[in-house]
Amino acid sequence: MGRKLLTQHINVPGIRNLETYRQHGGYDTLRKAFGMKQEDIVEEVKKSGLRGRGGAGFPTGLKWSFLAKPEGVARYLVCNADESEPGTFKDRYMMEHLPHLLIEGMAIGSFALGCRTSYIYIRGELMYVYHILQKAIDEAYAAGFLGKNVMGTGWDFDLFLQCGGGAYICGEETALIESLEGKRGNPRIKPPFPAIKGVWDCPTVVNNVESIMAVVPIVRDGGDAYAQIGIGKSTGTKLISACGHLKKPGVYEIELGVPVEEFIYSDEYCGGIRNDKKLKAVVAGGSSVPVLPAELILKTANGEPRLMSYESLADGGFATGTMLGSGGFIVMDEDTSIVKNLWTFTRFYHHESCGQCSPCREGTGWMEKLLHKILDGHGTLADVDLLWEIQSKIEGKTICPLGDAAAWPVASAIRHFRSEFEEYVRNPSAIRKDHHYYRVNNLNPELV
Amino acid sequence: MPKVTIDGHTIEVPDGTTILQAARMIGGDVTPPAMCYYSKLKTSGGYCRTCIVKVTKGSEKDPRPMPKPVASCRTTVMDGMEVQNKTAPDLIDARNGVVEFLLINHPLDCPICDQAGECHLQDLSYENGLSKSRYEFKRREFEKIDIGDKIKLHMTRCILCYRCVKVAEQVCDTRVHGVMNRGDVAEISTYIEKAIDNDFSGNMIDVCPVGALTDRTFRFKSRVWFTKPMDAHRDCSKCCGKAVLYMSGNEVLRVSARKDMWGEVEDAAEGKPGWICNECRFEKKEVKDWTIEGPRAIDRHSVIAQNKYLDKKNLKIDVSNQKQIQEKAHN
Ligand SMILES: Cc1cc2nc3c(=O)[nH]c(=O)nc-3n(C[C@H](O)[C@H](O)[C@H](O)COP(=O)(O)O)c2cc1C
Ligand code: SF4
Ligand code: SF4
Ligand code: SF4
């Protein structure tokens, strides 16, 4: 059994409430943090090797140490709880069950960074989680873990919960900041980075829910202890939200370094493919990362077993590898149509582009239309080449990484499954009959 | 002062200069096209991606090349930086891609567009566009709307450069329009069709690089290349009063601010952009309202820049005799 640092008490009845949370050691770590020097807390987080769990995997301790600290200027810690990446649902699960773990993490982080006000920006569609969190925040205020003179230390700290505006792009950290300030959620053009100019033009750290929660066990047990879990530069535990054609989809806390094969097939985790079908492909880190066919997700191009770690999943670059991303692990069995799946993803990015920069605004829609055409049985081989070209003209030329996120799934699907696109072009009706998944609503019903 | 080399030309520039500004100082082919950047408007630029360049050497201190093309309008030069624009075929290819994206949903109804002849998108597609569109789907369309009695918004032609939004924020008293919706259905809008009505709103027309915002008082009056642009000024209590009159005979068809070779409004005084007020732009449509200085040389490579009439040796500008101008201008 892998160690559980975040989820060990998740099934305790009533753990959502402050009292039960405290009975299981809740807020003891905050008390411990108050006995430490602020820079020592940052040092522990650095030592832990914790990498941002929001997708990019940037070392959290390093990010904290980059925060500008000009005299007399407020600083902010912002928790990114906008979780909207298709396939990713770990933050929601954690906040729903362990709201106080997030609050405790926010308090420790804010204390370490010298913030007096911090924000949790939660996805607007998660209203019921919003209420759970707000209730927990109210409890924490009443018990003196938030507010004036926290736990008698003289430190005043306010934590606000902000409801998101209902757009995937508001999860991009600078769009989140704009939205938090009450503006249109457009990503900012960097530099300046949030560490210099973030919320209200003040130095700001934006961290994912899971990153902030992980700070609690790091401070509790020490950074070194955390760093011993995992493999290489992928330290600690990671929440994986597994979905798709699995026997046991759900959120799993794994020690980084578990072999992908074990994760998919062992009873401790996903229990294998539903209906004992064959594995066809996996999108390992949320819809934005490249899809890999079964043989490449189970083993690297060199034939080594692929592990659930930042490095191993990225082994081989985009030619034969992918990314750990946000931990949204989407599994597709042999009956799945890659082209339809890709259409679903592309449709999402088209819908979610903020529209600021030309390649993403125009290119995402163009790709969706072409995929639609191919699925509708009217595609040509030239369309597949054009799709490839469009994605290459988007990638790396946009303001924020949403452009890349829209391009990579297209590139990887064509790279690894080109023959399937060609089948759609050559023999559309035969293929479509078998593929019930990802039913395409507005296609001609006779053809589906 | 940092030194930067662009396409083999080295120039020393003040700290904080962007690659695009440095390229403009060098001039010529080295300068990347820019559709959304506007030096007189703070925080403009970065959106359209046409000005991307390839940085092959970051700086003297950190010579690593930058991994992706960068927006030259938003990237400041570092000492020892080396940049490729026209000399990098892969970059030109990437830029052509951006231009294609800008065009796939564009109506290209130039024959009936008031901007034709002075349109930056026309210039851009001439230089970087494909001769045939690869886009086969229905193009996006919006209703035309009047924002106030003087300005027409033809959203279908908009490239979402955000310049007009910045004018409203930085030049006008209040901003009553902005961008609504998202992605490829994002649009410039006044929300509940509120009229844009304040003294400097007309400058939005001048900053718009395409025919999305046009002057209703000039609408369909003439192709711009049939007009004779004249520098003129008047005493105005609201603005600098320095303008260009687009004349046909003795008629003033249109008034605009004075624009430089980059299509940006010229400074009226050191560091003060010569924005003009709506009264000068829309109300002063008679020769007697203005003191005419002489023909305006338009330093751009579009149709209007032909300046053919300038060559006519016998065109003498006699400011005291408006009648004479009228006769000559008819040639
Ligand atoms: C389009 C887009 C959407 C994103 N959505 C989220 C999100 O929902 N949650 C999140 O934590 N990070 C998201 N990110 C990543 C954030 O920009 C940022 O990197 C992250 O919040 C940093 O936190 P971390 O260092 O703890 O991972 C998104 C990025 C992009 C480009
Ligand atoms: S890449 Fe897409 S989402 Fe990001 S800023 Fe550009 S248009 Fe907006
Ligand atoms: S905006 Fe420019 S390119 Fe578009 S129709 Fe008008 S003149 Fe033609
Ligand atoms: S209307 Fe013109 S100035 Fe305004 S965003 Fe569109 S193209 Fe730019």
DSSP state of B283: I
CATH number of B3-101: 3.10.20.740
| Averaged pLDDT score across all residues of chain A | 94
CA distance to A187, A195, B66, per residue, from A66 (Å): 21, 6, 21
Q: Which residue is associated with the tokens 């409801």?
A: A163
Pick the CATH number of A18-227 from 3.30.428.10, 3.40.50.11540, 3.20.20.140, 3.40.50.150: 3.40.50.11540
Output the ligand 1 site: residues, CB below 6 A: A 52-56, 58, 60, 63, 80, 82-85, 168-169, 171-173, 206-208, 211, 400-402, 405
Ligand 2 contact via A399 beta carbon (within 6 Å): yes
Q: Which pLDDT score is estimated for B176?
A: 78
Length of chain B: 331
Instruction: Work out whether strand B272-273 and strand B267-269 pair parallel, antiparallel, or are unpaired.
Output: antiparallel
Ligand 3 contact via B303 beta carbon (within 6 Å): no
Q: How far is the CA of B184 from the centre of ligand 2 (A)?
A: 11
- What kind and span of H or E run contains A384? helix A381-394
With an 8 Å Cβ cutoff, the interface of chain B facing chain A consists of 45-50, 52, 67-69, 71, 74, 94, 97-98, 100-102, 104-105, 134-135, 137, 159-160, 162, 178-179, 181-186
The first and second tokens of residue A248, run together, are 């046991």
CATH number of A338-442: 1.20.1440.230
Q: Which pLDDT score is estimated for B225?
A: 85
Q: What angle do CA A262, A304, A53 make, to 5 degrees?
A: 60
SS3 A158: strand
The first and second tokens of residue A382, run together, are 């030239």
CA distance to A282, A295, A323, A413, per residue, from A319 (Å): 15, 13, 12, 11
Q: Report H helices in A98-145.
A: 99-113, 127-142
Q: Which pLDDT score is estimated for B256?
A: 96
DSSP state of A249: -
Q: Which pLDDT score is estimated for B174?
A: 80
**Burial letters B203-221, b for 16+ CB under 10 A, else e:** bbbbbbbbbbbbbbbbeeb
Preceding amide of B32 cis, omega within 30? no
Q: Which pLDDT score is estimated for A428?
A: 78
Q: Which pLDDT score is estimated for B257?
A: 97
Structure ipTM over 0.85, yes or no: yes
Which backbone phi and psi does B54 adopt, to 5 degrees? -105, 125
Chain A residue numbers touching B181 (CB-CB < 8 A): 355
The per-residue pLDDT for range B230-263, each reduced to its tens digit, is 999 999 999 999 999 999 988 999 999 999 989 9
Closest ligand 1 atom to residue A401 Cα is 31
Q: Which residue is associated with the tokens 């009450």?
A: A182
Residue A183 forms contact with B (CB below 8 Å): no
The per-residue pLDDT for range A138-182, each reduced to its tens digit, is 999 999 999 999 999 999 999 999 999 889 999 999 999 999 999
pLDDT one digit per residue (tens) for chain B, 331 residues: 999 999 999 999 999 999 999 999 999 889 999 999 999 999 999 999 999 999 999 999 999 999 999 999 999 999 999 999 999 999 999 999 999 999 999 998 999 999 998 999 999 998 898 878 999 999 999 999 888 889 999 999 999 999 999 999 999 888 878 899 999 999 998 765 566 678 899 999 999 999 999 999 998 888 888 889 999 999 999 999 999 999 998 899 999 999 998 999 999 988 899 999 999 999 999 999 999 999 988 776 555 554 444 444 334 443 344 444 444 545 4
Q: Which residue is associated with the tokens 């998740």?
A: A10
Answer yes or no: are the C-beta atoms of B152 and B146 closer than 8 Å: yes
Answer yes or no: are the C-beta atoms of B206 and B171 closer than 8 Å: no
Residue A155 forms contact with B (CB below 8 Å): no
Q: Where are the domains of chain B?
A: 3-101, 105-132+139-215, 224-330
Q: How distant is the alpha carbon of residue B131 from its chain centre?
A: 23
Residues of chain A with CATH 3.40.50.11540: 18-227
Ligand with minimal distance to A405 CA: 1
Asked whether the predicted pLDDT for residue A353 surpasses 60, the reply is yes
Q: Of the candidates B74, B98, B186, which has its C-beta nearest A359's C-beta?
A: B98
Residues of chain A with CATH 3.10.20.600: 231-333
Domain over A231-333 is classified CATH 3.10.20.600: yes
- Out of B113, B152, B160, mutate this one to test ligand 3's pocket (max ligand atoms within 8 Å of CB): namely B113
Ligand 3 contact via B156 beta carbon (within 6 Å): no
CA–CA gap between residue A368 and residue A349 (Å, rounded): 9
CA–CA gap between residue A214 and residue A102 (Å, rounded): 9
pLDDT band with cut points at 50, 70 and 90 for residue A440 = very low
The per-residue pLDDT for range A250-291, each reduced to its tens digit, is 999 999 999 999 999 999 999 999 999 999 999 999 999 999
Answer yes or no: are the C-beta atoms of B113 and B119 closer than 8 Å: yes
Instruction: Provide the residue type at B273 as one letter.
Output: P
Q: Which candidate, B104, B92, B112, places its Cα nearest to that of B52?
A: B92
Instruction: Provide the residue type at A237 as one letter.
Output: T
Closest ligand 3 atom to residue B210 Cα is 1
**Burial letters A393-410, b for 16+ CB under 10 A, else e:** bbbbbbbbbbbbbbbbbb
The first and second tokens of residue A431, run together, are 């293929």
Give domain B105-132+139-215's CATH architecture: 2-Layer Sandwich (3.30)
Instruction: Provide the residue type at B73 as one letter.
Output: C
Q: How distant is the alpha carbon of residue A128 from its chain centre?
A: 20
**Reduced DSSP (H G I as helix, E B as strand, rest coil) percent helix, strand, coil of chain B, to 5:** 25, 20, 50
Asked whether the predicted pLDDT for residue A423 surpasses 60, the reply is yes
CA–CA gap between residue A165 and residue A82 (Å, rounded): 9
Burial of residue A37, with CB atoms counted within 10 A of its CB: 0-12 exposed, 13-18 middle, 19 or more buried? exposed
Q: What is the mean pLDDT of residues A320-341?
A: 95
Residues of chain A with CATH 1.20.1440.230: 338-442
Asked whether the predicted pLDDT for residue A437 surpasses 50, the reply is no
Q: Which candidate, A338, A402, A421, A337, places its Cα nearest to that of A364?
A: A402
Ligand 3 contact via B102 beta carbon (within 6 Å): no
Closest ligand 1 atom to residue A88 Cα is 8
Q: Do B98 and A361 make contact, defined as CB atoms within 8 angstroms? A: no
Q: What is the mean pLDDT of residues A177-200?
A: 95
Q: Which pLDDT score is estimated for B191?
A: 64
CA–CA gap between residue B133 and residue B146 (Å, rounded): 30
Look up the pTM and report it.
0.92
CA–CA gap between residue B258 and residue B38 (Å, rounded): 14
Answer yes or no: are the C-beta atoms of A238 and A49 closer than 8 Å: no
Q: Which candidate, A372, A6, A445, A432, places its Cα nearest to that of A221?
A: A6
Residue A359 forms contact with B (CB below 8 Å): yes
Residue A382 burial (CB count, 10 A): 10
pLDDT band with cut points at 50, 70 and 90 for residue A448 = very low
